Amino acid sequence: MANLKEIRNRIASVSSTMQITSAMKMVSAAKLKKAQDAITAMRPYANKLTELLQNLSSSLDADAGSAFADERPVKKVLVVTITSNRGLCGAFNSNVIKQCISIKADTYKDKEVHFLAIGKKGNDLLRKKNMVIANHSKVYDDLTFDNVADIAEEMMSYFADGSYDHIVLVYNKFKNAATQILMTEQFLPIVASQSESSTVMDYIFEPEKEKIVMELIPKSLKTQLYKAIRDSYASEHGARMTAMHKATDNATELRDQLKLKYNKARQAAITNEILEIVGGAEALNN
């Protein structure tokens, strides 16, 4: 049986770890509330803007800003990997990386696939394969629409100049603190609405249609990327809060087991001492 000092050291180590995981859980819970409010507030606007763009995309002329709706033979694909800058959030990052590898190996196995990383974890893992063309992890230092818009413009330029024929987003969509939905979403070219139940809206354009579409498409694409990153950001804190909650529970259970083991070892040591004293006293009497 392990000596008492060793068990005491293990109890102190587990208790220290439990305090850290508990603190990280509370920090993530506080950040989650703000991130959840942000994505909940912008999701209806982003969805409506995407729906509007999809309804318009089918009627776009070739010279009326529809360069972003151009369906061409797929030879080169850019996969935008949206992960976090930090770990300790369960399978949050690994699920995205596995999906990206699966896309390259299966969906586009005969195509040239590159990655654009948003988040240090995705960049660190995919960089080993020498397929990361850019890393925008610093966007999390100041997550604003303007900063994300710069990344979206870079991606749009890649598509417009023919550098890539398809651009795909891979990220975790926020559902609740315990659930994140892994999403693979086409960013470019723009996907026209394919719902059979949807009716084609007859819009009245003021000013002319071409000018509105030219302004609407870039704004919609920037909003789509911003929503994806916001979804991932909220999912990250939800995943970390859940992971730290489980880690705290496991540490508590292990600490209780070690305390029980310590008490048993201490009781056995005291019993042995008593037996030695009794045995010595009987030897003296004899």
Which active-site residues does the annotation give? 89
Q: Number of helices (H) and strands (E), helices first, in the chain?
A: 5, 5
Q: Is residue 123 exposed (0-12), middle (13-18) or buried (19+ Cβ within 10 Å)?
A: buried
- Can you tell me which residue has the tokens 């004293």? 277
Name, in order, each residue with C-beta under 8 angstroms of 75's C-beta and a sequence gap of 6 or more.
Answer: 111, 112, 165
For residue 234, report the phi and psi dihedrals to the nearest 5 degrees.
-65, -40
**From CA 103, how far away is CA 253, in angstroms rounded?**
40
Closest by CA position to 95, among listed 170, 169, 21: 170
Distance between start and end Cα atoms, the chain: 33
**From CA 44, how far away is CA 151, in angstroms rounded?**
22
Name, in order, each residue with C-beta under 8 angstroms of 60's C-beta and a sequence gap of 6 or more.
Answer: 66, 69, 213
What length does the chain have? 286
Name, in order, each residue with C-beta under 8 angstroms of 243's C-beta and a sequence gap of 6 or more.
Answer: 88, 89, 90
